[in-house]
Structure 1
Amino acid sequence: MKIISSYGVELRKQNIPIRQTLDVYRAAVSYLTEVYAQVWEELERIPGTKKRFNEAEHLIHTTKKNQARFDFDIRFPKMPSYLRRASIQNALGSVSSYKTRLGLWEKTDRLEGKPRLVYENHAMPVFYRDVMYREDEGGKDAAYLKLYDGHDWKWFHVRLSHTDMEYLRKNWSGKKASAPTLEKRHRKYFLRFSYTEDVILAKIPAKEQIICSVDLGINTDAVCTIMRSDGTVLGRKFINFHSEKDRMYRVLGRIRRFQREHGSVQAKSRWAYAKRLNIELGRKIAGAVTKYAKENHADIIVFEYLEIKGKISGKKKQKLHLWRKRDIQKRCEHQAHRNRMRISRICAWNTSRLAYDGTGTVIRDPGNHSLCVFQTGKRYNCDLSASYNIGARYFIRELLKPLPVTERSLLEAKVPAVKRRTSCVYADLRKLSSEMNLRAA
């Protein structure tokens, strides 16, 4: 399995023509998009992606053996060949996508808006090694980029962020990075390096697996439980970043007061800051979950399949909108695969509503929403109970799935609760494990 990781290194402020280079590249992509849209019927008939690309380059670039039909070389003189080919690839992709969407629109009785070919794009150039990008042998935190200064393409010495380079040297030393891509975030420019790893994920039978079941919440960021297939709990952890959430809620309070006086139009920069805080919170949660699973030698991280449909209402409306559940799971999946762990998801119905001990539905404590009361009067943490149920549902599914139909039916007759997966709880896994052990003996 190939895993691609990337990291952006900030370009320190200095007098280099990044903006001019970006304008020239985007102008080239815009011009080529218009050209290839005119001759697309001619290009579409060419079989094979490579042959089509070569023909597209011959249309705009003059050589000793080829006379170009369009004046690209005159409009963009001395443009580096690798950058020219990158702009050709970008333009071909835009036109091909537009033609595909247009064909689908014509087949669907033209009910929705007609697709539009966008010439003004936000394409970012790739600095290919040796011809567009060179590492500075003398300084560790510097490099050379080939940029357009308004007259010609020249090499410019650029300084790179020391902290970013230290991170790359610490975590990715000895691994080859791809050609860096220029990107812009928060009015700053970065070089994004990509690294490809070949990872073999572990294949372990369900009975021998150790899982980390995770309940993502709003009050508590995440509750993790390390569990074996027989229901043995090896560890539990509450992950909650109080200070980060307090900072974000203070910012949201300032935005609320600001909007009352000045309106929402002038609060864009404040909302952008709140969004960055929320993204950083999601990164920390994902890192903490993966780290805990790795420390306990978990083979699989189990999440709920969370999907909120329809309009969100109620007093927790804003918290639910800011809840980055999918982003956290996506980041956990990437980090888990890098550590040779797998990811699995189970149905989220009734995981928090049903008590883990099989006594039925729970009642939330109105004073403390993280706590609940079981039918027996027992008070327990609702998120921890849910994490038990998440792990139990995963093991029930994985233990019953490979069995023959006859054997599975006999087990379901002994433990009827496992027939319906959406009502399974931790107590049902314990019963199922006992019955399987009796049959094996």
Structure 2
Amino acid sequence: MKIFTSYRKKIKHYSHIFKDTLMFYRLAVDFFISVCLKEWGQVSLCSSAKDKMTCVERLTHATKKRPVVQYDFSQADPGFYKFPSYLRRAAINEAVGKVSSYLSNLKNWEEDPSGKKPGLPKAGFVFPCMYKGNMYQESSAYEARIKVFIHNTWDWIDITFRKSDVDYILHHCQEREECVPVLMRKGKEWFLTFSFEEQATLTSIPFKEQKILAVDLGINSACVCSAMCADGTVLGKHFFFLPGENDCLSHAIGRIKKAQQHGARKIPRLWARAKGINDAIAVKTAQFIIDIAVLYNVDVIVFEHLGLKGRKRGSKKQRLHLWKARHTQSVVTDKAHRLGMRISRINAWDTSRLAFDGTGRVLRGTESAKTNGSYSVCEFQSGKVYHCDLNAAYNIGARYFIREILKSLPETARLDMEAKVPSCAKRSTCTLSTLISIHAALAA
């Protein structure tokens, strides 16, 4: 599979000089969008993206052999004289994509008119691609030349990059294929964003021989990992806590709450601090998961499929709003694919509520006298007190293997297995004891 990553190089010493370039590019995209909307019947007949771009170019770009065109781009209202050819083609491709998406959404809305009708496409916040040779030339490792609109014409200017950005890319992306950079703005600063492509081969071991890492992401503990085999054998369990970061995040949330109680509505610095701490927690958690996966040489990392939409309630609703579980899973996915590991997600329903030993529903918080009101531990029906997140990690790994086993069985064998082990018929009731029972039935 192909993996794409992007890194930014900050352009030093310039702040406002690229505004005209960005403005003209977005006006060009708007111009080609209007042409595509009028001539979509002709453009849509083309099969490939290259043919569509050529079709729009024939309608808008005058040449020596084609002096008269229906929509002359160079004579359009803003004035696109000497507009670079590669930038023009990038604008055409952007416009074709936006119009195609709009017409597809419009067709779906006409078939089922629920919600608001799709609005006409616009350029929006698109940024220009600086094609190598025509728009971008490297002078040295830390310097380059780009063609921009300056002094009422398109001309080359010299730019300088930060040494830290260049050295970081050289260290991490030397073996990857570099794609076309994009001129982007963030706040008052300008960057060239480089995309890198690399090939990765994911493991294709049969599930019976796989080792997995079942991960339960939490709020009290950052994550709990359990390495497992297909027969339910637990190879290892690891806990990851970030007490310092959690304390800093609680302090940052308290400052935000206090400022809001005093009537402050816009507090960007306080929110930026809380966001930075939260990002650090997600990145450190993802790195810990990858380290444990490498330690046990696992083939698959298994997460819960978390539904985080809806209103949050309770004393920790602010922490739930800030919880970056999906961002953590995304970071782990990128790192794992680069190492050849696969990612899988299972049904998250009742993974913490059901005991892994099959004794039924656990008691948590105020439901049990043994837990002292804590939701970090739970009491089984047998009276045993166990860690909640570790119990969930066992059930997560078991549900992955149960799903793979049942998928591999023929229909009659699957029905026979559900008759022998009734709890495997419903995925949301499967636990580690269910997986052990299935293996016992298969062995018999």
What's the TM-score once normalised by structure 2's chain length? 0.88
Question: Shift in Å at residue 11 of structure 1?
Answer: 2.6
Question: Shift in Å at residue 46 of structure 1?
Answer: 5.4
SS in 1 for 2:56: helix
Letter in 2 for 1:396: I
Give yes or no for the alignment of 1:90 onto 2:121: no
Sort the Cα spacing of 1:395 and 1:49 in 2 relative to 1 into closer, same or farther, 3 A.
closer
User: In the alignment, which residue of structure 2 is the partner of 1:301?
Assistant: 301
User: In the alignment, which residue of structure 1 is the partner of 2:288?
Assistant: 288
SS in 1 for 2:301: strand
Sort the Cα spacing of 1:246 and 1:31 in 2 relative to 1 into closer, same or farther, 3 A.
farther
SS in 1 for 2:304: strand
**Equivalent residues of 2:5, 2:197 under 8 A apart:** yes
Question: Shift in Å at residue 369 of structure 1?
Answer: 1.8
What are the residue-to-residue correspondences of 1:165-176 with 2, within 5 Å? 165-176=166-177
User: In the alignment, which residue of structure 1 is the partner of 2:315?
Assistant: 315
User: In the alignment, which residue of structure 1 is the partner of 2:224?
Assistant: 223
User: In the alignment, which residue of structure 2 is the partner of 1:238?
Assistant: 239
User: In the alignment, which residue of structure 2 is the partner of 1:380?
Assistant: 386
SS in 1 for 2:74: helix
Q: 1:119 aligns with which of 114, 117, 122?
A: 122
Question: Shift in Å at residue 45 of structure 1?
Answer: 5.2
Q: Which runs of 5+ in 1 are unaligned?
A: none
**Equivalent residues of 2:216, 2:389 under 8 A apart:** yes
In 2, the alpha carbon distance for the partners of 1:394 and 1:176 equals 35
Question: Shift in Å at residue 84 of structure 1?
Answer: 1.0
In 1, the alpha carbon distance for the partners of 2:103 and 2:424 equals 50
**Equivalent residues of 2:15, 2:188 under 8 A apart:** no
**Equivalent residues of 2:59, 2:71 under 8 A apart:** yes
The Cα offsets for residues 295-339 of structure 1, whole Å up to 9 and x where unpaired, read as 320000111121145432222222222222223223322222221
Give yes or no for the alignment of 1:136 onto 2:139: yes
Q: 2:109 aligns with which of 77, 81, 105?
A: 105
In 2, the alpha carbon distance for the partners of 1:405 and 1:9 equals 56
Percent identity over the alignment?
A: 41
Deviates more, 1:161-170 or 1:270-279: 270-279
In 2, the alpha carbon distance for the partners of 1:280 and 1:81 equals 43
User: In the alignment, which residue of structure 2 is the partner of 1:353?
Assistant: 353
User: In the alignment, which residue of structure 1 is the partner of 2:4?
Assistant: 4
SS in 2 for 1:134: strand
SS in 1 for 2:396: helix
Question: Shift in Å at residue 224 of structure 1?
Answer: 0.7
**Equivalent residues of 2:49, 2:93 under 8 A apart:** no
In 2, the alpha carbon distance for the partners of 1:44 and 1:421 equals 45
Give yes or no for the alignment of 1:369 onto 2:384: no
Sort the Cα spacing of 1:188 and 1:262 in 2 relative to 1 into closer, same or farther, 3 A.
farther
Number of residue pairs matched by the alignment = 434
User: In the alignment, which residue of structure 2 is the partner of 1:192?
Assistant: 193
In 2, the alpha carbon distance for the partners of 1:182 and 1:134 equals 13
In 1, the alpha carbon distance for the partners of 2:12 and 2:241 equals 34
**Equivalent residues of 1:16, 1:158 under 8 A apart:** no
In 2, the alpha carbon distance for the partners of 1:433 and 1:198 equals 37
Deviates more, 1:372-381 or 1:84-93: 372-381
In 1, the alpha carbon distance for the partners of 2:16 and 2:102 equals 35
User: In the alignment, which residue of structure 2 is the partner of 1:391?
Assistant: 397
SS in 2 for 1:190: strand
**Equivalent residues of 1:20, 1:150 under 8 A apart:** no
Give yes or no for the alignment of 1:420 onto 2:423: no
In 2, the alpha carbon distance for the partners of 1:405 and 1:38 equals 53
**Equivalent residues of 2:15, 2:189 under 8 A apart:** no
Sort the Cα spacing of 1:391 and 1:111 in 2 relative to 1 into closer, same or farther, 3 A.
closer
Sort the Cα spacing of 1:242 and 1:136 in 2 relative to 1 into closer, same or farther, 3 A.
farther
SS in 2 for 1:200: coil
In 1, the alpha carbon distance for the partners of 2:104 and 2:358 equals 53
In 2, the alpha carbon distance for the partners of 1:189 and 1:280 equals 25
Question: Shift in Å at residue 255 of structure 1?
Answer: 1.9
**Equivalent residues of 2:227, 2:236 under 8 A apart:** yes
Sort the Cα spacing of 1:248 and 1:141 in 2 relative to 1 into closer, same or farther, 3 A.
farther
| RMSD of Structure 2 on Structure 1 (CA) | 2.6
**Equivalent residues of 1:16, 1:156 under 8 A apart:** no
